Amino acid sequence: MTKRALKSALRHGALALFTLATIYPIVQVVSISLRPGDRLYTTSLALIPEGASLDAYHAILFDKPFLLWMRNSLIVSVSVTIIGVALAATAGYAFARFRFPGRGAGMLAFLVTQMFPATMLLLPLFLLLRKIGLVDAMPGLIIAYVATALPFCVWTMKGYYESIPVELEEAAMVDGTTRVGAFTRVTLPLSAPALMITALFSFMTAWSEFMVARVIIQKLGLYTLPLGLESLAGTFQTEWANYSAGAILVCIPVVALFLALNRYLVSGLTLGGVKG
Amino acid sequence: MAGVHLKGIVKRYGKGDPVLKGIDLDVEESEFMVLVGPSGCGKSTILRVVSGLEEIDSGEIRIGERVVNDAPPRERDIAMVFQNYALYPHLKVYDNIAFGLRVRKTPKEEIDTLVREAAELLNLGSMLDKLPKELSGGERQRVALGRAIVRKPKAFLFDEPLSNLDAKLRVQMRAEISALHQRLKITTLYVTHDQVEAMTMGERITVLESGEIQQTDVPMGLYERPANRFVGTFIGSPPMNILDARLDGGRLAVGECIFSAGVPDELRNRADSRGFLLGIRPEHLEVHDRPEGLRATIDLIEPMGGESNIYLSTGAGRVVATMPGIAVRKRSDEVFLRFDPAAAHFFDSRSGVRLGEGSVPGRSG
């Protein structure tokens, strides 16, 4: 084998290993969800188990309050996405385009909040929400998630705005728009890729989060998907098939969202506007 | 259409020195005024304060009859063409040109007529459905022009619109913009750092340096009667030669050479105590072999085609002379320089301000 072929084989081998590590758990979950009964362990290596059935999917969808959890999760996640994107789009713009006292400190403060582990912020967040009476309420959860997602989103938006030449907005203002008009007619449409990333990130923050939801939400009727799934794991018995089927169903909206937004996540949208 | 009038404009960024130190400038209705100067002289800042993109610290800006000091850009009814074109990348050429009209809520049919008219005028008819990224540099700049003219604004502001184009395209666009102005007669403020652009396009030119106006005049006025040393050397290419000069028995002396011509009275009175500067344009220097005039050695010859630039060292400093045709001399040749003192300019050696009228009585050479 030549040296080059060896290098290539090593590279592909390493990549294959990581790919396997990524895919194996998902395949395993799919496999468990199809097994009849709640068998977590099996000696069979078959991907599609013997006697595979969709019973677990039927059970989770219709025998459990899965659709209620899904509804709650959607309300929370969509709200977090809308509020998060709106706040990040405007705050990022202010940080990118204006010079004001506290600008540097503000950006730094945003960055610093990202340094703390989320669990550390949990207690103060809980106390804060209790003070304003939003514990065990959806708005409370939404506020908590927006607060968690916002720093990253603001930084992303700020960075993207800074890559858009300020002359485009100036041209729009000379052409007759207000500053807000220049922002909405020129800057915002050009920021589509960053807006999409921000939206995805906000959505994901809320969709798959467990810890904060566990602390803030107690009412069964307000359970989000992660809380609901966790409730399937009882003290004495875990409904592994239902659990796995639920996990797969939770993934579907996220995958769909990714596919839908994929085409916006292209770079080079601002090409050609200015020389350079 | 309207004139643009600036009175005592002061603009400062932060706490440093002002970038504009009291600018007084009157651009008459329909006039093509070029602002020229080196980088950082404040010429682009003038455009930005006229457009309203920057606020002024003091002074008065008038467009037509209206004082617009506090008016936002959209209320000033001016159009601006940027150095980097600043086309909206997500909009097609048609929508780029129509943008300002749409913002102003012009009826749809009227927008269509106006956009097509402008596109026709600028040869953009076949490109209306393209995105800016599909266009060449020259085409993009024409779209930027289209966006400016379609609104029929009170005034045009051009901020170095040609500096991103290659040399050939620049010459072509220069002519197109001039022709457009001839046709539309819209008051224009045109900023450039290129003195050739300034000389060829401007009806009048304002030369700026360090945030101050050095001189405003018609192109040949600047060339023939520069108000100071800066204007003298900035306008013209190759630049005007500046040599230390003095009076010797009432006659002009440069280096070891004493010219037989006299100097203007004003100069004589001022220059008695100290020397002054002599400015002479390269085309007014004559290179010859007779031992008469300033002795010089040729350092470099640049053949330009129709003429040659000859760089020389003299006892009084280095100079450049322009000769028609191909120079027959070569490097290191010893030659003599002669000039008609009537073509010379005199400047104060400290302030650089012009002395006298530049024409020496008794032009005997």
Nearest residue on chain A to B93, judged by CA atoms? A273
Q: Do A189 and B90 touch (CB under 8 A)?
A: yes
| Res A255: pLDDT | 87
Q: Do B90 and A178 touch (CB under 8 A)?
A: no
Given A165, A181, A271, which is nearest B86 (Cβ)?
A: A165
> In the structure, what pLDDT confidence band is assigned to residue B363 with cuts at 50, 70 and 90?
very low
CA distance A153 to chain B (A): 23
Size of interface A-B (CB pairs under 8 A): 93
Cβ within 8 Å of residue B107, ≥6 positions away: none
Nearest residue on chain A to B14, judged by CA atoms? A99
CA distance A46 to chain B (A): 51
pLDDT per residue over B195-253, tens digit each?
Answer: 899 999 999 999 999 999 999 999 999 999 999 999 999 998 899 999 988 887 778 88
The CA distance from B46 to B177, in Å, is 20
Neighboring chain A residues of B82 at a CB cutoff of 8 Å: 167, 170-171, 274
The CA distance from B242 to A165, in Å, is 42
CA distance A243 to chain B (A): 46
- CATH architecture of the domain A60-264 equals Orthogonal Bundle (1.10)
Q: Do A167 and B82 touch (CB under 8 A)?
A: yes
Q: Which of B47, B43, B58, B52 is nearest to B12 (CA)?
A: B58
The CA distance from A66 to A138, in Å, is 17
Phi, psi of B205 (to 5 degrees): -125, 140
| Res B359: pLDDT | 41
Neighboring chain B residues of A173 at a CB cutoff of 8 Å: 52-53, 72-74
Q: Token pair 């977590």 is at which residue?
A: A40
Burial pattern A169-187, b for ≥16 Cβ within 10 A else e, equals bbbbbbbbbebebbbebbb
Q: How far is residue B257 from each of residues A109, A119, A169, B244, B323, measured CA to CA in Å?
A: 72, 89, 60, 12, 22
Percentage of residues in chain B having pLDDT higher than 90: 62
Given B73, B135, B164, which is nearest A174 (Cβ)?
A: B73
Residue with the bigger pLDDT between B268 and B40: it is B40
Nearest residue on chain B to A168, judged by CA atoms? B86
pTM: 0.82
Neighboring chain B residues of A181 at a CB cutoff of 8 Å: 103
Chain A CB within 8 Å of residue B291 CB: no
Q: What is the CA radius of gyration of chain A?
A: 23
pLDDT per residue over B72-106, tens digit each?
Answer: 999 999 999 998 889 999 999 999 999 999 999 99
Sign of the torsion formed by the C-alpha atoms of A152, A153, A156 and A157: negative
Q: What is the interface pTM, i.e. ipTM, of the complex?
A: 0.84
pLDDT per residue over B242-258, tens digit each?
Answer: 998 888 777 888 888 88
pLDDT per residue over B269-319, tens digit each?
Answer: 665 556 789 999 999 999 988 888 889 999 999 988 889 999 999 988 899
Nearest residue on chain A to B75, judged by CA atoms? A176
Nearest residue on chain B to A271, judged by CA atoms? B133
Neighboring chain B residues of A264 at a CB cutoff of 8 Å: none
CA distance B209 to chain A (A): 25
Q: Do B132 and A177 touch (CB under 8 A)?
A: no
Structure tokens at B114: 């106006």
Q: Which of A190, A113, A195, A124 is nearest to A153 (CA)?
A: A195
CA distance A103 to chain B (A): 16
Burial pattern B247-262, b for ≥16 Cβ within 10 A else e, equals beeeebbbbebebebb
The domains of chain B, with CATH numbers, are 4-227 (3.40.50.300), 238-355 (2.40.50.140)
The amino acid sitting at B94 is: Y
Q: How far apart are the first and last CA of chain A?
A: 47
Burial pattern B205-229, b for ≥16 Cβ within 10 A else e, equals bbbbbbbbbbbbbebeebbeebbbb
Q: Token pair 């875990």 is at which residue?
A: A238
Q: Do B86 and A273 touch (CB under 8 A)?
A: yes
CA distance A100 to chain B (A): 13
**How distant is the alpha carbon of residue B337 from its chain centre?**
29
Chain A CB within 8 Å of residue B89 CB: yes
Neighboring chain A residues of B93 at a CB cutoff of 8 Å: none
CA distance B96 to chain A (A): 10
| Res A265: pLDDT | 66
Q: Going residue by residue through chain A, which has 276 residues, state the pLDDT in tens, using 9 for 90 and above.
A: 688 999 999 999 999 999 999 999 888 888 888 887 666 666 666 777 777 888 888 888 888 899 999 999 999 999 999 999 999 999 999 999 999 999 999 999 988 888 888 778 888 889 999 999 999 999 999 999 998 889 989 999 999 999 999 999 999 999 999 999 999 999 999 998 889 889 988 998 899 899 999 999 999 999 999 999 888 877 667 788 888 899 999 988 888 888 887 777 655 444 445 544
The CA distance from B272 to B269, in Å, is 6
| Res A235: pLDDT | 67
The amino acid sitting at B296 is: A
Using the predicted structure, report yes or no on whether residue B125 has a pLDDT greater than 50.
yes
Nearest residue on chain B to A187, judged by CA atoms? B88
Using the predicted structure, report yes or no on whether residue B361 has a pLDDT greater than 70.
no
Neighboring chain B residues of A270 at a CB cutoff of 8 Å: 89
Q: Do B88 and A273 touch (CB under 8 A)?
A: yes
Phi, psi of B217 (to 5 degrees): -165, 175
Q: What is the dihedral of CA A45, A46, A52, A57, to 10 degrees?
A: 70
**How distant is the alpha carbon of residue B31 from its chain centre?**
15
Chain A CB within 8 Å of residue B90 CB: yes
Q: What is the CA radius of gyration of chain B?
A: 24
The CA distance from B149 to B139, in Å, is 15
Using the predicted structure, report yes or no on whether residue B358 has a pLDDT greater than 60.
no
Neighboring chain A residues of B99 at a CB cutoff of 8 Å: 172, 175, 185
Given A176, A185, A271, which is nearest B74 (Cβ)?
A: A176
Using the predicted structure, report yes or no on whether residue B47 has a pLDDT greater than 50.
yes
| Res A274: pLDDT | 53
Number of neighbours of residue B280 by Cβ within 10 angstroms:
23
Chain A CB within 8 Å of residue B84 CB: yes
Cβ–Cβ < 8 Å for A69, A224:
yes
Phi, psi of B335 (to 5 degrees): -135, 180
Residue with the bigger pLDDT between B258 and B135: it is B135
Portion 127-156 of B in contact with A at CB < 8 A: 131-135, 137, 140, 147, 151
The CA distance from B106 to B168, in Å, is 37
Q: How far is residue B315 from each of residues A274, B256, B283, B296, B344, measured CA to CA in Å?
A: 50, 7, 20, 7, 18
Chain A CB within 8 Å of residue B164 CB: yes
Could you tell me which residues of chain A have a Cβ less than 8 Å from any Cβ in chain B?
Answer: 165, 167-168, 170-178, 181, 185-186, 189-190, 269-276
CA distance B53 to chain A (A): 7
Given A176, A270, A275, which is nearest B103 (Cβ)?
A: A176
Q: Do A185 and B103 touch (CB under 8 A)?
A: yes
CA distance A258 to chain B (A): 23
| Res B273: pLDDT | 56
Boundaries of every domain in chain A: 3-53, 60-264
